[in-house]
């Protein structure tokens, strides 16, 4: 019997033996992970934006270059955490950046066009770049959609929303807010645009499974007097799984970008639980009422 086995092994090509051995080792290796996502080709999910001194310095340099173009003195910029985008227009230069480049009236049409030109001109300071070069990290005016434009008496307010992700961006991210006076000067600025990163385009978790998990769960809160109370989800009718969103979650000096289901639970007293649609991990819980 042993002689027959030895003969067969001698007749087997050496490369085939190596391949079989490698496969056996791969299957048997304890704790080995071949893919970070069930049923997905993405290996680096969720994508991460990490704050670094280099990125902060690049943001300051881009801002310095922009205000120099308007012949304004150097001012310290307040940055959004991790994103390193302008959180607000410095008080010293509010009303001193003229975005009106054409003579004549400055009505709504003129203001919208002037804002478009300003966004293009200021792209280096407004849009984060997760890579250190162009795509896939770069974002531009083409990736924004004007979702709100209002006349507030002495000035206009404009809200642009990021439109280069397959689903709406939640958590207050993905928006650029500006206010411009009717004399054509920039008054306010808040920028929470996120870099363009790869995300799955479909969920791996079934929405129905999230409903079942929420039934029986308790949520704690306090009343107006500060007394601790709790609310228990008693039935499936108290659980609503909403459409998919992109959910950026900041933790320390990083922001992870998730594809998520917002799951609203409760009746009258409600919470929104954000669940990762790829891994099933709970990302965040938001209380939808004031106490």
**E strands in the chain:** 48-50, 97-98, 144-151, 155-162, 175-181, 185-191, 218-222, 228-232, 239-241, 245-251, 254-267, 269-276, 282-287
Question: What is the pLDDT at residue 241?
Answer: 98
| pLDDT tens digits for range 156-204 | 999 999 999 999 999 999 999 999 999 999 999 999 999 999 999 999 9
| pLDDT tens digits for range 110-160 | 999 999 999 999 999 999 765 444 444 578 999 999 999 999 999 999 999
- Kindly report the pTM of this predicted structure: 0.80
pLDDT surpasses 60 at 37: no
For the chain, the maximum distance between any two Cα atoms, rounded to a whole number of angstroms, is 100
């Amino acid at each position: 019997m042993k002689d027959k086995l030895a003969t067969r092994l001698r007749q087997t090509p050496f490369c085939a033996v190596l391949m079989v051995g490698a496969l056996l080792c791969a299957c048997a290796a304890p704790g080995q992970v071949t893919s970070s996502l069930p049923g997905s080709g993405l290996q680096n999910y969720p994508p991460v934006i990490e704050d670094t001194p280099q990125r902060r310095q690049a943001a300051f340099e881009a801002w310095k270059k922009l205000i120099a173009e308007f012949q304004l003195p150097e001012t310290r910029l307040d940055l959004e955490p991790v994103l390193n985008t302008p959180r607000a227009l410095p008080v010293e230069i509010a009303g001193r950046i003229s975005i009106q480049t054409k003579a004549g009236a400055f009505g709504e049409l003129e203001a919208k066009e002037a804002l478009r030109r300003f966004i293009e001109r200021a792209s280096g300071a407004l849009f984060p770049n997760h890579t250190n070069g162009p795509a896939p990290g770069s974002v531009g005016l083409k990736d924004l959609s004007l979702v709100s434009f209002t006349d507030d008496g002495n000035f206009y307010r404009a809200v642009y929303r990021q439109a280069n992700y397959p689903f709406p961006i939640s958590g207050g991210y993905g928006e650029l807010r500006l206010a411009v006076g009717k004399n054509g000067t920039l008054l306010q600025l808040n920028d929470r645009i996120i870099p363009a990163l790869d995300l799955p385009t479909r969920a791996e978790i079934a929405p129905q499974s999230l409903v079942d998990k929420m039934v029986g769960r308790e949520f704690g809160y306090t009343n107006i007097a500060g007394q601790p109370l709790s609310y228990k989800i008693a039935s499936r009718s108290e659980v609503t799984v909403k459409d998919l969103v992109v959910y950026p979650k900041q933790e320390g000096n990083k922001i992870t970008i998730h594809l998520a289901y917002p799951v609203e639970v409760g009746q009258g007293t409600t919470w929104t639980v954000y669940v990762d649609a790829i891994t099933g991990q709970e990302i965040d819980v938001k209380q939808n009422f004031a106490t």
